[in-house]
Amino acid sequence: MLLKVLTNMDRESFLPEVVSLTDIGSVGPKIQELGIPVHAIGMRPEFPGPLSIWRFIRRVRGLQPDLLQGWMYHGNLAAQFTNAFLPNPVPVLWNVRHSIYDLKNEKKMTAWMIRLGAKFSNKPSRILYNSKISASQHEALGYVSEKRVTIPNGFDTDIFSSSEEARLKIRQELGLSASSSLIGLIGRYHPMKDHGNFVRAASYISKTHPDIHFVLAGTDVDCKNTELTDLVKSQGLTSKFHLLGERNDINRLTASLDIASSSSFTEAFSNTIGEAMACEVPCVATNVGDSDWMVGDTGRLVPPRDPAALASACEDLLDIGLDGRKALGAKARERIINNFSINKIVSNYEALYSSLIN
């Protein structure tokens, strides 16, 4: 989302620079290709030393910013801390991009950062959330409610759009017939994504729709993941599942699906569901985070951790046929364009920045 905001930002009005606490990662080079400097501090994620902290402060001071935008918990607190060392403190904006249903589900360091953020949440000028649910959850933990601003994720409807060519080509690549139906789950392998829920739902679906196939993609979603492959095998679904790992053609893969699914038991604002909607693919998602706000009446919402309900909703969309799914998909894309297009979302960011600087 940071990359999408920077890609579409008005560069005549704003001159962004990115400071990464660790390295530049996989997104950093893409930001650099936009002509935007990316500075990597090289901190150790768990225990940053005093030298790296000072390096970060010195780097930010050298940029002479008009505004500091933190991005996620560590970045938010780093921006707030560093602001105290600037010759002339500037507005600080936090960006929270996570939902919390139970702190016990979080890593110890993440849970500690969340609690620490609550103690200092009166310091930033605004706290930006990408989800209404996330805002309420954080405020229940002590985040100052008066600072709240909600700007959801945005989607590039030029990159993510319907494609009959992608539909046919992906099936060819998977060795499937052109008439095969695909249900997809795009997302990294992480407990909150609840791949087990999806695999168990797939077992139900396969009994009523034996010709169905399931496509999964994302970090660690491949044949090397023995936990995932053992689960698929235990359900007798090895021949039905296509584990594709990380892909650089998610728009193409998404456009090939008949149904997109999210089986997570916690989310803030799902990128993959929004991208599928932009591709005119109807969605079945667990009713967590802001899925209801995003999906509306263009797909199906089910309770989390309920594979039977997830399966039943997918079967419902399969049973309405291709024309029925196309009609829902067209409504889904229209909903994204009207409410969550990237240009509209970036305009909201720019308006917020301008209100804090001027």
263 lies in the same domain as 123: no
Count Cα atoms within 13 angstroms, Cβ side, for 158.
4
197 lies in the same domain as 129: no
Give the model's confidence band at 106: pLDDT under 50 very low, under 70 low, under 90 confident, else very high. confident
Report pLDDT digits (tens) over 178-193.
999 999 999 999 999 9
The answer to whether residue 184 sits within a structural domain is yes
The answer to whether residue 331 sits within a structural domain is yes
Instruction: Tell me the residue range of the domain where 133 lies.
Output: 2-154+342-357
Give the model's confidence band at 102: pLDDT under 50 very low, under 70 low, under 90 confident, else very high. confident
The answer to whether residue 192 sits within a structural domain is yes
Give the model's confidence band at 100: pLDDT under 50 very low, under 70 low, under 90 confident, else very high. confident
How many separate domains does the chain show? 2
The answer to whether residue 47 sits within a structural domain is yes
347 lies in the same domain as 244: no
Helices (H), the chain: 2-8, 28-32, 50-63, 72-83, 108-119, 132-140, 164-173, 195-208, 226-234, 250-255, 271-278, 291-295, 307-319, 321-339, 342-357
The answer to whether residue 159 sits within a structural domain is no
Surface-to-core class of residue 210, CB atoms within 10 Å of its CB (0-12 exposed, 13-18 middle, 19+ buried) = exposed
The answer to whether residue 74 sits within a structural domain is yes
169 lies in the same domain as 128: no
The answer to whether residue 168 sits within a structural domain is yes
Q: What is the distance between the alpha carbons of residues 279 and 268, in angstroms, rounded to a whole number?
A: 21
234 lies in the same domain as 140: no
Residue 211 in tokens: 């010709």
Residue 262 is inside which H or E element, if any? strand 259-262
326 lies in the same domain as 240: yes
57 lies in the same domain as 37: yes
Residue 262, domain CATH: 3.40.50.2000
93 lies in the same domain as 190: no
Contact predicate 259/282, CB 8 Å? yes
Give the mean pLDDT of the chain: 96
19 lies in the same domain as 81: yes
Percent of the chain with pLDDT over 70: 100
119 lies in the same domain as 102: yes
Q: Please choose, from the candidates 132, 133, 154, the residue with its C-alpha nearest in 3D space to the C-alpha of residue 278.
A: 154
Average pLDDT over residues 339-346: 96
Average pLDDT over residues 32-59: 91
225 lies in the same domain as 89: no
Q: Per DSSP, what are the bridge partners of residue 213?
A: 182
297 Cβ contact list (under 8 Å, min separation 6): 331
pLDDT, residue 268, reads 86
pLDDT, residue 104, reads 82
Surface-to-core class of residue 242, CB atoms within 10 Å of its CB (0-12 exposed, 13-18 middle, 19+ buried) = middle
170 lies in the same domain as 131: no
Residue 159 in tokens: 């990159």
Residue 45 has pLDDT above 80, yes or no: no
Contact predicate 290/315, CB 8 Å? no
The answer to whether residue 124 sits within a structural domain is yes
Residue 193 in tokens: 């994504």
Q: Which residue has the tokens 């797939």?
A: 202
Count Cα atoms within 13 angstroms, Cβ side, for 350.
17
pLDDT, residue 353, reads 98
Dihedral angle sign, alpha carbons of residues 200, 203, 208, 212: positive
